[in-house]
């Protein structure tokens, strides 16, 4: 029987979420779990925040004709998170020019995509066979200078 050391580590994680506001806390828990299982060196807190923004946008701005899909992929330099929905329309404000000046502090909406643009190393959207995928990439957290790698056991 092979030992655990011979089992390859998964490089990606994919799961369907309900098209409801309940998907947001589920997605936060799933991204935390996925990054731990993938042993991803990316910042889990930032990944949770940005994933919650993408899922909330998918729930709020699409018609609910199908589930939302969360895809997490481990990259050599960090991780990429995608949220798939069934609306082919591009997300407003993600890939256009950066807005001038700070957002209006009285508005309740409109900061999520700004957070994604500010905190990710890259972000965007692409068409899929059934709609679109909106994604962001987080780079690995560099080890502090002089820090030794923690032993794995």
**Tens digits of residue pLDDT in 88-131:** 988 876 655 555 556 555 555 566 778 898 899 999 999 999 99
Nearest to 70, CA basis, from 85, 86, 49: 85
Looking at residue 101, its pLDDT comes to 59
- Is 104 within the bounds of a domain? no
Instruction: Report the number of distinct structural domains present in the chain.
Output: 1
Higher pLDDT, 51 or 112: 51
- Is 150 within the bounds of a domain? no
Q: What percent of the chain has pLDDT over 70?
A: 72
Distance of CA 63 to the CA centre of its chain: 21
pLDDT over 60 at 2, yes or no: no
- Is 60 within the bounds of a domain? yes
Looking at residue 142, its pLDDT comes to 56
- Is 5 within the bounds of a domain? no
Looking at residue 38, its pLDDT comes to 74
Kindly list the strands in the beta sheet with 78-85, ordered across the sheet, starting from the edge strand earlier in the chain: 12-17, 68-75, 78-85, 131-139, 122-128
Among 14-18, 43-47, 80-84, 143-147, the least confident range:
143-147
- 21-46 confidence digits (pLDDT tens): 999 999 999 998 888 877 776 788 99
Round the average pLDDT of the chain to a whole number and report it. Answer: 80
pLDDT over 90 at 13, yes or no: no
For residue 151, name the pLDDT band (cuts at 50, 70, 90): very low
For residues 106-115, one letter each, b for 16 or more C-beta atoms within 10 angstroms of the residue's C-beta and e for the rest, the string is eeeeeebbbe
- Is 151 within the bounds of a domain? no
- Is 100 within the bounds of a domain? no
- Is 4 within the bounds of a domain? no
Looking at residue 133, its pLDDT comes to 96
Instruction: Provide the residue range defining the domain that includes 15.
Output: 10-93+112-139
pLDDT over 80 at 73, yes or no: yes
- Is 118 within the bounds of a domain? yes
CATH code at 74? Answer: 3.30.565.10
| Residue 25, helix vs strand vs coil | helix
């Amino acid at each position: 029987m092979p030992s655990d050391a011979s089992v390859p580590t998964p490089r990606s994680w994919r799961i369907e979420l309900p098209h409801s506001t309940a998907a947001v806390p589920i997605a936060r828990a799933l991204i935390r779990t996925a990054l731990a299982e993938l042993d991803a060196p990316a910042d889990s807190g930032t990944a949770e925040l940005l994933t919650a923004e993408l899922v909330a946008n998918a729930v709020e701005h699409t018609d609910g004709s199908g589930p939302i899909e969360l895809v997490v992929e481990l990259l050599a330099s960090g991780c990429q998170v995608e949220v798939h929905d069934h609306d082919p329309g591009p997300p407003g404000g993600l890939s256009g020019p950066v807005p001038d000046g700070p957002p209006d502090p009285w508005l309740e909406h409109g900061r999520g995509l700004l957070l994604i643009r500010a905190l990710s190393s890259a972000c965007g959207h692409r068409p899929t066979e059934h709609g679109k995928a909106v994604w962001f990439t987080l780079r690995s957290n560099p080890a502090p200078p002089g820090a030794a790698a923690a032993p794995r056991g």
